[in-house]
Amino acid sequence: MFLIVIVILKALFFNLSESSLKTLQNATTYDLGDHTIVSSSNVFPYVAAILNKSQYLCAGALIDESWVLTAADSVFLFRDSLRLIHVRLGSINNKNGGRLLPIKLIEFHPYFDDQKPEFDVALIQLAKRVRLTQNLNPIRLQRKPKQVMATHFIVTAWPAQHTSSAELYKVASVQGVERRRTLQVAHLHPTKPEQCAEVLEELGFLKTNIMCLDQSLGIDPCSRDVGAPVVLNGILWGVVSSWAPEDCDLLPGPTFVTLASAPNVSSWIHATMRGVTWHTWTIFDTDYEDYDDDD
Ligand SMILES: *[C@@H]1O[C@H](CO)[C@@H](O)[C@H](O)[C@H]1NC(C)=O
Ligand SMILES: *[C@@H]1O[C@H](CO)[C@@H](O)[C@H](O)[C@H]1NC(C)=O
């Protein structure tokens, strides 16, 4: 515990460039439970903080000038009180900086079920198109289902409130509050495909819609980086679902990522962004650039 605090403080006091951030991550991956503080807004310019008034709810990803993709579960309670929801973009601090924007609407995936991670996606439309800058820029979506070959994915979110990991920050008291407001990055390993398939099978969840990531070490096994963009080589694969097993404190299990490329998800995203009514038979021409480079 003490060691972890020292590493956190160390991470805090060095102002990290992108490359030194990577070095530090490699060096401290395990001590930090894989989570490292982010120090510059332009490294993850697509990350969105979704707020209830000013209170952090979850993360999301800007996918064009007016739309943010996030987890449905975390904003579902607000479907009749959209005025409460604001989105902060272009800042690593969820209380400060960048642009704080009101929203126009939230579209929930029509198959969303709060007992399941399969369609745990929502699209938030900003009240106005946002002006893009170096620190505020959308990320492209992985559009086609693809086998997971990578060794790690980049997951960015703000620390969940009221978890035992929040207790940890209290220990590092001076910077504690500031730290809780600061974006964190984790490099999470995908769970072995057979193991992921087995877990999904057991739970009865659609294998096509979910990717499993191994849980971070040293992080509350029941907390999830809800809505966190899951990225590989600058492409958004999906967002972290809030779903966790009921006995997660005993049997943590993997973190589930709802895939943007999943059948019935990808076409829904594109229909919604174009203002078109979505049906399961909606198919979009691939009149877009193919992003399938994965090296
Ligand atoms: C939203 O914030 C208000 C306080 O500003 C709080 O009373 C309410 O419980 C919050 N809603 C949710 C669902 O977190
Ligand atoms: C998409 O939705 C349709 C209608 O519910 C369903 O029949 C089909 O199996 C779904 N496809 C997948 C792969 O989830």
- The region of weakest confidence among 53-67, 186-200, 223-237, 241-255 is 241-255
Res 271 pLDDT > 70: yes
* pLDDT on residue 284: 60
Neighbours of 7 (CB within 10 A): 18
Note whether 259 and 210 are within 8 A (CB). Answer: yes
Distances (CA, A) of 134 to 98, 159, 182: 11, 24, 19
**Angle formed at CA 24 by CA 47 and CA 134, multiple of 5 degrees:** 30
> Is the fold of 47-138 the same as that of 141-261?
yes
**Over the stretch 166-187, which tens digit does the pLDDT of each residue have?**
555 555 555 667 778 899 999 9
% pLDDT > 90, the chain: 61
Pairing of strands 35-37, 184-188: antiparallel
Residue 135 has pLDDT above 60, yes or no: yes
CA of 68 to the centre of ligand 2 (A): 24
The region of weakest confidence among 117-131, 144-158, 214-228 is 214-228
Rounded CA gap, 180 and 171, in Å? 12
Query: What mean pLDDT do residues 125-136 have?
Result: 96
Task: Say if domain 141-261 classifies as CATH 2.40.10.10.
Answer: yes
Mean pLDDT check: name the lowest of 112-116, 124-128, 175-179, 276-280.
Answer: 175-179
Measured in Å, residue 146 CA sits from the centre of ligand 2 at 18
Q: Greater confidence, 200 or 11? A: 200
Query: Do the strands 67-70 and 210-213 form a parallel or antiparallel pair, or are they unpaired?
Result: unpaired
Q: Do the Cβ atoms of 173 and 198 come closer than 8 Å? A: no
Which pLDDT value is given to residue 281? 72
Distance 279 CA to ligand 2 centre (A): 10
The owner of tokens 């972290």 is: 240
pLDDT tens-place string over residues 60-88: 999 999 999 999 999 999 999 999 999 99
| Nearest ligand by distance to the CA of 210 | 2
**Spatial contact of 217 and 30, defined as CB atoms under 8 Å apart:** yes
Query: What pLDDT sits at residue 258?
Result: 98
Domain 47-138: assigned CATH number: 2.40.10.10
- Residue ranges per structural domain of the chain: 47-138, 141-261
- 165 CA distance to ligand 2 centroid (A)? 38
| Number of the ligand closest to the Cα of 79 | 1
> Does the structure show a pLDDT above 50 at 14?
no
Tokens 């272009």 locate to 90
pLDDT at 28 over 70: no
Buried residues in 8-46 as b, exposed as e (16+ CB within 10 A): beebbeeebeeeebeebbeebbebbbbbbbbbebebbbb
The model's pLDDT over 104-113, given as tens digits with 9 standing for 90+, comes to 999 999 999 9
Distance, CA of 286 to CA of 290 (rounded, Å): 8
How much is the average pLDDT of 192-219?
91
Report which residue type is found at 241. S
Evaluated on CA atoms 257, 259, 263, 266, the torsion sign reads: positive
Estimate to the nearest angstrom the gap between the alpha carbon of 50 and the chain centroid.
11
Which protein residue's CA is at the shortest distance from atom 12 of ligand 1? 52
> Is residue 17 scored above 50 in pLDDT?
no
Q: What is the mean pLDDT of the chain?
A: 83
The ligand with the least distance to the CA atom of 259 is 2
